[in-house]
């Protein structure tokens, strides 16, 4: 069992993970980038901006000094995807011990490179063992001890059983897989489709339209995810269809809320300026569209969301563009036709 755990990133999910893992009576150190968040975590034991209504237990220690987190045998990385490369560089510069096991808990793709979070970690911290965590896990519910399940993935089988023990708690069930690519791709791509589901909600298009959109989103997730190296069966699991469902339908979903606001007439710039937390579907839409073009994969939903976010396409045109596509069979055996 890991005795010293550090969590890098004190947003909603990082804070919820600290609360979750503290149940094992293990010392957990939680690093926050924002000095104001650090001050509140230390003095008030709360994080009202990112995870209101909860208090840190005594065995969670908050810090704003990244060097304080190095004395750990297990490190969870939970920064926004756009900040992961910088955070890893700082950890490398500070001399993170190569024995520390790193678990990536961030869902996204890097701009331009199309790299997954584990690939960035392996590039900058090549000697550290790496695993990933994903699944249908809203921070608000995990922090309130509402039952949830997730999946841990690693290319190193010897990591999975010890990590599974750490994450197996009364209100959290942890499964394991060796499909590191598929686990991360499901968790990243579903955020794009949740924006589309939110647009449907903003237009009051009803349950039938939203169910059809989400079903075709799963087909697109699989088509692009398999082309990028994931396994088909993974997308039918917790990090695929499970995460897709909760993110497209939950009231907690930031990405669904972004889409709903788009459907009601707000601009992407207005929405982002008003948000405290990052909606990962916004940067991932750009990254995924870049990858789809590079691989020659038809990804109509990804394209329409990208067009709304980055090319000022009116959301109603994007939605009707999807509905007006030429008829085709539902089966998609070669994973290339949308």
In the chain (338 residues long), the average pLDDT of successive 10-residue segments reads 93 97 93 97 97 96 98 97 97 97 97 94 98 97 97 96 96 97 98 97 95 96 97 97 97 96 96 90 96 96 97 94 85 54
Which DSSP helix (H) or strand (E) runs through 261?
helix 254-263
CA 262 to CA 299: how far, in whole Å?
Answer: 20
Residues 225, 131 share a domain: no
Domain boundary among 153, 178, 203: 178
Number of domains in the chain: 2
Q: Does 243 appear as a known binding residue?
A: yes
190 labelled catalytic: yes
Q: Does 50 appear as a known binding residue?
A: yes
Q: What is the pLDDT of residues 54-94, one digit of tens each?
A: 999 999 999 999 999 999 999 999 999 999 999 999 999 99
Residues 115, 62 share a domain: yes
Cβ distance 225 to 208 under 8 Å? no
Which DSSP helix (H) or strand (E) runs through 187?
helix 180-202
Domain boundary among 125, 147, 178: 178
What is the reported pTM? 0.94
Which one-letter DSSP state was computed for residue 25? Answer: T
Q: Does 241 appear as a known binding residue?
A: no
Q: Does 11 appear as a known binding residue?
A: yes
Q: What is the pLDDT of residues 257-287, one digit of tens each?
A: 999 999 999 999 999 999 988 899 999 999 9
Residue 288 structural domain: 185-323
- Domain CATH code at residue 250: 1.10.1040.10
pLDDT of the residue at 332: 62
Residues 6+ apart with CB under 8 A from 160: 131, 152, 153, 154, 176, 178
Q: Does 150 appear as a known binding residue?
A: no
Residues 209, 119 share a domain: no
Q: Does 135 appear as a known binding residue?
A: yes
User: Pick the catalytic residue: 190, 257, 294, 313?
Assistant: 190
CA 196 to CA 82: how far, in whole Å?
Answer: 22
Residues 240, 115 share a domain: no
Residues 91, 135 share a domain: yes
Domain boundary among 133, 151, 178: 178
pLDDT of the residue at 19: 97
- Domain CATH code at residue 49: 3.40.50.720
pLDDT of the residue at 335: 44
pLDDT of the residue at 338: 53
Residues 227, 109 share a domain: no
Q: What angle do CA 235, 236, 238 make, to 5 degrees?
A: 85
Residues 6+ apart with CB under 8 A from 149: 135, 136, 172, 173, 174, 175, 238, 242
Within a domain: residue 47?
A: yes
- Closest to 151 measured CA to CA, from 142, 138, 162, 160: 160
Beta-strand relationship, 74-77 and 101-104: parallel
Helices (H), 125-179: 139-143, 157-167
Q: Using DSSP, state whether 218 is helix, strand or coil.
A: helix
Q: Does 240 appear as a known binding residue?
A: no
Q: Say what angle helices 300-310 and 281-295 make with each other, to 10 degrees.
A: 130
Within a domain: residue 100?
A: yes
């Amino acid at each position: 069992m890991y005795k010293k755990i550090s969590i890098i990133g004190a947003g909603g999910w990082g804070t919820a993970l600290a609360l979750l893992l503290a149940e094992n009576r293990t010392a957990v150190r939680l690093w926050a980038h924002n000095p104001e968040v650090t001050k509140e975590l230390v003095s008030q034991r709360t994080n009202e901006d990112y995870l209101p209504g909860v208090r840190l237990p005594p065995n969670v220690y908050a810090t704003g000094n990244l060097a304080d987190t190095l004395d750990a045998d297990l490190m969870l990385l939970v920064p926004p995807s756009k900040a992961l490369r910088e955070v890893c560089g700082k950890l490398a510069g500070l001399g993170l011990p190569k024995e520390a096991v790193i678990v990536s808990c961030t869902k996204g793709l890097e701009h331009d490179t199309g790299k997954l979070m584990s690939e960035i970690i392996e590039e900058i911290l090549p000697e550290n063992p790496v695993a990933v965590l994903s699944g249908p896990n809203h921070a608000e519910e995990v922090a309130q001890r509402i039952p949830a399940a997730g999946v841990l993935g690693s290319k190193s089988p010897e990591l999975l059983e010890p990590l599974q023990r750490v994450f197996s708690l009364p209100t959290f069930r942890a499964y394991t897989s060796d499909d590191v690519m598929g686990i991360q791709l499901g968790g990243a791509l579903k955020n794009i489709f949740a924006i589309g589901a939110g647009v449907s909600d903003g237009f009051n298009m009803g349950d039938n339209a939203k169910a059809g959109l989400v079903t075709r989103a799963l087909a697109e997730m699989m088509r692009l995810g398999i082309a990028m190296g994931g396994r088909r069966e993974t997308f039918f699991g917790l990090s695929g269809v499970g995460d897709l469902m909760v993110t497209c339908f939950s009231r907690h979903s930031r990405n669904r809320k972004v889409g709903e606001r788009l459907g009601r007439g707000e601009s992407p710039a207005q929405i982002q300026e008003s948000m405290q937390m990052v909606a990962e579907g916004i940067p991932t839409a750009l990254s995924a569209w870049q990858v789809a073009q590079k691989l020659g994969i038809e990804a109509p939903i990804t394209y329409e969301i990208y067009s709304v976010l980055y090319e000022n396409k009116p959301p109603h045109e994007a939605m009707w563009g999807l509905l007006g596509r030429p008829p085709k069979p539902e089966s998609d055996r070669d994973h290339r036709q949308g």
